[in-house]
Amino acid sequence: MLYFSKLRIILVTLTCLFFIFIAINNLLSQNNRFIDKKINLGLDLQGGSYLLLEIDNSPVIEQKLQNTSSLLRTYFKEKDIRIANLSLINNKIRFSVEEKFKQNVIKEFQDEKSQINPYYPRFKSHQFDIIENESFLEISLSKQGIVELKNSSQDQALETVRRRIDEIGTNEPNILKRGNDRILVELPGLDNPMRIKSLLGKTANLTFQFISNNDQDSFGVEKFQYEDGLDEDFVSKRIILSGDNLLDAQPRMNNQTNETVVSFSLDRVGAKRFGKATSSNIGRKLAIILDGKIISAPVIRDTIASGNGQISGGFTFQSATDLALLLRSGALPAPLNIIEERTVGPELGQDSINAGMIALIIGFILVIIYIFFKYKIFGLITNITLIINLIILLGILTLFEATLTLPGIAGIILTVGMAVDANVLIFERIKEELKNEKNNIIAFDSGYSKSRTAIFDANITTLLAAIILFFMGSGPIKGFSITLGIGIFTTLFSVYFIARLFTAIYVSKNKDKEAMI
């Protein structure tokens, strides 16, 4: 029936007032807002930079297999199982084993309770596949193992990227996962991302290693170039310290030499190791290596036991600041490659806002005029309901601090059309009912009831499409699907609660009037 209880009227009124209250929040300044929530504008509306980064997991996979090779050698030695010719070829661990031990080795990898080493966590056999050949065995990461490795690498990279961008102080960055090897970075208001790209493109893998006395490649020694690309040196493979031991790094001015340096402090373990290494190697050069290049190689003049030091290398203050930032944020687990980049200027963003708002206003006005002339007083009720519907939609988006994009505005415009469509279906059905029913209240009630199936079917199919777009799409497509999906719920609420309430009030007061619609 068209009857609304007082409780239902109160609930509908309070719901509308609540979302109107939340939506108004977007029009107020930061200091005058009721709550600290508002709708954020996407890059296409606000302007800014869009970067899609892809993680190069090749070094991560290789490092994982190298570590596993060392564990295998130790583990099978303790088990008195003889293996030989252990090598890493094409991302596969290959080794030979005597025939009498072969089944035992295979069993170790197939047994869920097996442990590679008692000092390490339980070995997960599903991470690896083992293949038996005539004279050797091959171990490679399984599909599940690669997925787990990529997910772990992505989580670490995401956190490191977030720390680096937060250090710069970018306004409301949006950093999201894409698949299991990509990271999306949206930087609203930033129209020159060169510095960000430079910072994100560096792995920032820092190590301290001694310059070798040998002047040629030999076991335990490798050659590194200096950052300027002009010189090179042979460096011991033994790593004295890594960036994991750093507590802090800051740019400083060296008062004695009047040059910009990066001062750093080490944790307790790092300070102890650094003090021991410097005390026994006075007079030797210590290479400070960042991402495979020597940035500085000072001579050790005295024991450094305080855990504090400096990195010099002809830095400008900006480059020293960036290096300190990289060291504080930690190293990336793998290199990042920029595979997609877009920059939207604030003027173009404002043009998009204006175009979207003009389209919304024109469409809204045309719909209001048509509905009013078509259905008179019920057209007016529909128009009031449309306005409330839009405000409720904006209130929900504000509550969730959604990011509004140009496709999102298109979703809102489509919501207006769907709301009108639902009301048209109802009113046309009511016209059909009035031909056979003289009681206005019964006719209107039947019109709402009998049109419900068609309206629900139309909105549910549209909602399914929005859900598919949300999970299968990316970027702006998601914005469109979110506003469209929320708009479907607000439309159904406005049609069957708000518009129906207004209609019930009018019909009950004019139940004996002829030709109501």
E strand intervals along 408-472: none
* 414 lies in some domain: yes
Provide the pLDDT for residue 388: 92
> Do 356 and 271 reside in the same domain of the chain?
no
Is residue 314 domain-shared with residue 440, that is, in the same domain?
no
| pLDDT interval class at 226 (50, 70, 90) | confident
**Pair (327, 366) in one structural domain:** no
How many Cβ atoms from other residues are within 10 Å of residue 127's Cβ?
Answer: 17
Does the pLDDT of residue 463 top 90, yes or no? yes
Report yes or no on 365 lying in a domain: yes
Write the CB contacts of 249 (distance below 8 Å, at least 6 apart in sequence). 262, 263, 264, 265, 323, 324, 327, 328
- 388 plus 411 within the same structural domain: yes
Statement: residue 120 has pLDDT above 50: no
Instruction: Assess contact for 323 and 249: CB atoms under 8 A.
Output: yes
- How many structural domains comprise the chain? 3
Could you give the dihedral angle defined by the CA atoms of residues 96, 100, 101 and 103, in that order, rounded to the nearest 10 degrees? 100
Q: Which domain holds residue 377?
A: 6-47+345-509
The DSSP letter of residue 436 is H
214/304 same-domain check: yes
- CATH code of residue 274: 3.30.1360.200
Question: Is 167 among the domain residues?
Answer: no
Token pair in block for residue 220: 């335990």
To 10 degrees, the CA torsion angle through 262, 264, 270, 275?
Answer: 80
How far apart CA 459 and CA 98 sit, in angstroms, is: 68
If you average pLDDT over every residue of the chain, what do you get? 82
Backbone angles phi, psi at 330, to 5 degrees: 90, 165
Residue 277: CA atoms inside 13 Å, Cβ hemisphere, count? 21
Last residue of a domain, one of 291, 311, 341: 341
Classify residue 130: in a domain, yes or no.
Answer: yes
Three-state DSSP class for residue 504: helix
Largest interatomic CA distance in the chain:
107
pLDDT digits (tens, 9 = 90+) for 61-71: 888 888 788 77
Looking at per-residue confidence, does 340 or 192 come out higher?
Answer: 340
Q: Are residues 301 and 351 in the same domain?
A: no
Same domain assignment for residues 261 and 371: no
213 and 300: one domain? yes
- The more confidently predicted of residues 44 and 155 is 155
Euclidean distance between CA atoms 458 and 452, whole angstroms: 10
Please tell me whether residues 314 and 388 are part of one structural domain: no
State whether 425 and 368 are in the same domain.
yes
* Residue 484 and residue 375 share a domain: yes
The CATH number for 36's domain is 1.20.1640.10
Final residue before a domain boundary, out of 341, 369, 403: 341
Name, in order, each residue with C-beta under 8 angstroms of 77's C-beta and a sequence gap of 6 or more.
none
Domain shared by 66 and 25, yes or no: no
Asked if residue 517 belongs to a domain, the reply is: no
Q: How far apart are CA 478 and CA 415, in angstroms?
A: 16
Q: State yes or no: pLDDT of 111 exceeds 90.
A: no
Phi–psi pair at 237, nearest 5 degrees: -70, -15
Check residue 118 and give its pLDDT.
43
What is the SS3 assignment for 235? strand
Lowest mean pLDDT among 221-225, 226-230, 331-335, 483-487: 226-230
- Please tell me the distance from the alpha carbon of residue 299 to that of residue 165, in angstroms, as a whole number: 34
The beta strand positions in 98-155, using DSSP E, are 128-132, 137-141
Note whether residue 172 is domain-resident: no
**Model pLDDT, residue 175:** 86
| Structural domain contains residue 185 | no
Is the pLDDT score of 185 beyond 60?
yes
Q: What is the mean pLDDT of residues 293-322?
A: 84
pTM over 0.85, yes/no:
no
Structure tokens at 272: 């102890």
Domain boundary pick from 285, 316, 341? 341
Name, of 5-19, 84-98, 346-360, the range with top average pLDDT: 5-19
Q: Dump pLDDT digits (tens) for 384-421.
A: 998 999 999 999 999 888 878 878 888 888 888 888 88
- The answer to whether 142 and 121 have CB atoms below 8 angstroms apart is no
